[in-house]
Amino acid sequence: MIAPKLRWLGRVAYEPTWRAMQRLVDARDSSTPDEIWFLEHPPVFTLGMNARPEHLLAPGDIPVVQIDRGGQVTYHGPGQLVVYPLLDLTRARLGIRPLVEGIERAIVAALATWGIDSYGRRDAPGVYVGSAKVASVGLRIRRGCSYHGLALNVAMDLGPFRRINPCGYAGLEMTQVSELGGPSDLGVVAGVLAPQLLAALGFDAADQSATSTWRQDVSSV
């Protein structure tokens, strides 16, 4: 199966990136190549379709965006690696549960590179180290295609997570790769995660270098 195009978008505003994902899903057909976007966002809280407002405790001056993924409230900010798999699930023969579990396996495998023991949870999607959460997963499937994705805390200010009940869980502790003995550079983490993600989703990881495109202009996607 042909591997997706990998794109590094750098630090990009949340809402234009979300709208670009929607446009890609709306415009694609059976021949449209899959893509996976790697990026980080400026500070923003996002609320999933069924998010309960009481989980947003004290947003302060951080923008809040109501969006169309599943899940509750989460935080994105600089130093967090965000990855958006834009995949034709019918063509890839991937169901929603295998997609979520594949994303979690890829994160677990990447973290193991730095000796970090982590695990996924079926009852609360994401990846955990002990009782603390290091990565969140939230997706939307439309027209048989996926968008939104995962957020892996790498080297960020975790303080804003205390302004919410992360993913709807009061008192949930958040952690990050750099505090667990891993690197603090997003590019390094992305370089390790990318082939793990391709392999976990059934693509040929050997195609990674041939399908990588490094670009900054999300508005043109």
124 burial type by CB count under 10 A (0-12 exposed, 13-18 middle, 19+ buried):
middle
pLDDT score of 46: 94
> How, if at all, do strands 5-11 and 35-40 pair?
parallel
**Based on the structure, what is the number of domains in the chain?**
1
Query: Closest by alpha carbon to 48, among 66, 25, 64?
Result: 66
Q: How far is CA 24 from CA 66, 119, 147, 204, 219, in A?
A: 20, 32, 9, 23, 11
Which token pair is 127? Answer: 């990846």
CATH of the domain at 122: 3.30.930.10
127-160, pLDDT tens digit by residue? Answer: 999 999 999 999 999 999 999 999 999 999 999 9
Q: What is the sign, positive or negative, of the torsion defined by CA atoms of 215, 151, 46, 143? A: positive
Q: Which pLDDT does position 145 carry in this prediction?
A: 95
CA–CA gap between residue 173 and residue 150 (Å, rounded): 18
Least confident of 55-59, 91-95, 96-100: 55-59
Q: Which residues are catalytic?
A: 167
Place of tokens 């809402």: 15
Q: Per-residue confidence at 49, pLDDT binned at 50, 70, 90? A: confident
Q: Are 131 and 195 in contact (CB under 8 A)?
A: no
What is the band of 99 on the pLDDT scale with cuts at 50, 70, 90?
Answer: very high
Predicted local confidence at residue 217, as pLDDT: 57
Whether 129 contacts 116, CB under 8 Å? yes
| Residue pLDDT, tens place only, 5-20 | 999 999 999 999 999 9
Task: Supply the mean pLDDT for the chain.
Answer: 91
Q: Residue 119: is its pLDDT beyond 70?
A: yes
In terms of pLDDT, which residue wins out, 104 or 71? 104
What gap in Å lies between CA 126 and CA 73, rounded to an integer? 13
| Structural domain boundaries enclosing 153 | 5-220
C-alpha 20/C-alpha 72 separation (Å) is 22
* Average pLDDT for 151-176: 94
In the chain, the percentage of residues whose pLDDT exceeds 90 is 76
* pLDDT tens string 188-215: 999 999 999 999 999 976 655 445 665 6
Per residue in 102-118, pLDDT tens? 999 999 999 999 999 99
pLDDT at position 210 = 46
- pLDDT value for 162: 94
Q: How far apart are CA 100 and CA 21, in angstroms?
A: 18
Predicted local distance difference test score (pLDDT) of residue 216: 58
Q: Which residues pair with 81 in a beta bridge?
A: 152
